[in-house]
């Protein structure tokens, strides 16, 4: 999806992260399709001392990047996720395809520079602000496809089904109308978008939440031919209020209800899943689904803390996302995933479940695996057949001085805030070199014009 094409070449790295560990003097061959190959010719370039697979970002609402920092003033009554949501709805009303593309392209450049090489876009701004469809019904979705192409990031596009305003089936409120589809309209959108799939674009299903998708609609979509074998993502159990409403109307907690009423398996990503009982935690882990964790957004919105230790002990899969983009950094997501647990338990090194394990390596390994599963793309590993998505760390950085295989990932994740991702390859194409994206000036200038226009009303 980049303007450039992959160049078949062979590289060598002093250390590359393969099979969950560092491999010395690693050869990395890239073929003309932008995939890693089994072998290649003589190395054309030394990549650096430390090379990692690029990180998937399994949950994004791209438009929210432009409002990051604009909802941090105390209101007249208690502030919560629900008051933040009203601010977000007001901001979303001003965004059309042109604005969405400009914002998303800037966000995706920031993601690449931070170390994300793929993004799952949970996209619900489908229609015009009054709910009327655009002349091209998929216009907003295609704006995201074009933004990913400009930036050069791999995209899993997850158009959202959003039908009701609550568990009681109330109609969508005025500011939610642009999100809405009936089942047939949603399936038409899905089919239209699948026609654009390619090596860098995967289409999947997003059920906004149990409160926004009635049971019959969920079943109809999942049974449709258009949905077969696609990734399935859903917001769930993010807020206590959501759990209470689900109990009142459906007689079960959200994750409990979903596991009882859908064939939840490795295709599924349950985003947030913050509020779980011990029984739900164990069942979710056994299902093979991914828990999609977004620690910086969950902290910003006051959601709560995921039961990480119990979930890891049960063998659960997880990945990370930047969600509302109050922060755009896989390092910060992983750092705060661990720090939240430390604050709650008043202990250290929670994610490392066995003596001697590295917290940084444990988290990076888990997020790669779960993120790749959620994306539905061949990525997250530096082996033949996978996308050539990789990060070259800055070996000259003081923060990495005197680090070896036992300490490198812990230092990358936990030691300071200086940028450490020097170069980024995505699909065999160099998108970032020496800390600069190949098209960042043009994309940033357009973004500035866009947000200035939005701020001016």
The residues annotated as belonging to the active site are: 272, 323
How many beta carbons lie within 10 A of that of residue 365, not counting itself?
18
**Token pair listed for 63:** 């438009």
CA separation for the pair 76, 99 (Å, rounded)? 31
CA separation for the pair 179, 132 (Å, rounded)? 10
User: Euclidean distance between the first and final Cα of the chain, in Å?
Assistant: 33
CA separation for the pair 311, 337 (Å, rounded)? 13
3-class DSSP state of 237: coil
- DSSP state letter for 303: -
CA separation for the pair 245, 234 (Å, rounded)? 17
Residue-wise burial string across 376-414, b where 16 or more C-beta atoms lie within 10 A, e elsewhere? bbebbbbeeebbbbbbbbbbebebbeebeeeebbbbbbb
3-class DSSP state of 285: helix
Residue 74, classified by CB atoms within 10 Å of its CB into exposed (0-12), middle (13-18) or buried (19+), is exposed
Cα dihedral 159, 164, 166, 167 sign:
negative
3-class DSSP state of 290: strand
**Token pair listed for 109:** 């450049």
Radius of gyration of the chain (CA): 21
């Amino acid at each position: 999806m980049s303007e450039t094409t992959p160049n078949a070449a062979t590289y060598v790295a002093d250390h590359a992260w393969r099979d969950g560990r560092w491999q010395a003097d690693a050869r990395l061959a890239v073929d003309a399709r932008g995939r890693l190959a089994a072998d290649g010719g003589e190395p054309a370039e030394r990549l650096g001392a430390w090379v990692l697979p690029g990180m998937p970002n399994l949950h994004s609402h791209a438009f929210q990047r432009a409002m990051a920092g604009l909802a941090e003033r105390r209101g007249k009554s208690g502030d919560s996720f629900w008051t933040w949501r009203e601010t977000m709805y007001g901001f979303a009303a001003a965004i059309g395809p042109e604005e969405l593309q400009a914002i998303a392209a800037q966000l995706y450049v920031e993601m690449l520079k931070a170390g994300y090489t793929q993004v799952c876009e949970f996209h619900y701004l489908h229609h015009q602000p009054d709910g009327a469809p655009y002349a091209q019904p998929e216009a907003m979705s295609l704006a995201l496809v074009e933004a990913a192409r400009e930036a050069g990031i791999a995209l899993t596009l997850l158009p959202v089904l959003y039908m009701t305003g609550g568990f009681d089936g109330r109609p969508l409120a005025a500011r939610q109308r642009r999100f809405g589809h009936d089942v047939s309209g949603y399936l038409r959108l899905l089919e239209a978008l699948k026609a654009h799939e390619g090596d860098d674009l995967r289409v999947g299903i997003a059920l906004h939440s149990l409160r926004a998708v009635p049971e019959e609609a969920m079943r109809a979509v999942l049974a449709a031919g258009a949905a077969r074998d696609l990734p399935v993502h859903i917001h769930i159990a993010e807020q206590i209020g959501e759990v209470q409403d689900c109990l009142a109307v459906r007689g079960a907690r959200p994750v409990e209800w979903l596991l009882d009423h859908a064939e939840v398996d490795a295709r599924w990503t349950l985003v947030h899943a913050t509020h779980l009982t011990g029984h739900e935690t164990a069942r979710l882990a056994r299902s093979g689904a991914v828990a999609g964790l977004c620690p910086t957004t969950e902290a910003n919105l006051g959601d709560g803390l995921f039961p990480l230790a119990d979930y890891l002990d049960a063998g659960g899969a997880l990945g990370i996302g930047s969600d509302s983009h109050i922060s755009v950094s896989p390092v910060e997501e992983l750092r705060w995933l661990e720090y939240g647990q430390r604050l709650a338990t008043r202990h250290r090194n929670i994610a490392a479940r066995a003596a001697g394990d590295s917290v940084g390596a444990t988290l990076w390994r888990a997020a790669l695996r779960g993120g790749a599963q959620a994306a539905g793309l061949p990525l997250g590993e530096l082996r033949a057949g996978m996308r050539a998505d990789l990060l070259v760390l800055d070996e000259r950085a003081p923060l990495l001085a005197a680090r070896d295989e036992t300490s490198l990932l812990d230092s990358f994740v936990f030691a300071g805030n200086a940028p450490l991702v020097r170069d980024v390859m995505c699909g065999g194409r160099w998108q970032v070199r020496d800390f600069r994206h190949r098209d960042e000036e043009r994309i940033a200038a357009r973004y500035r014009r866009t947000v200035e226009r939005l701020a001016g009303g």
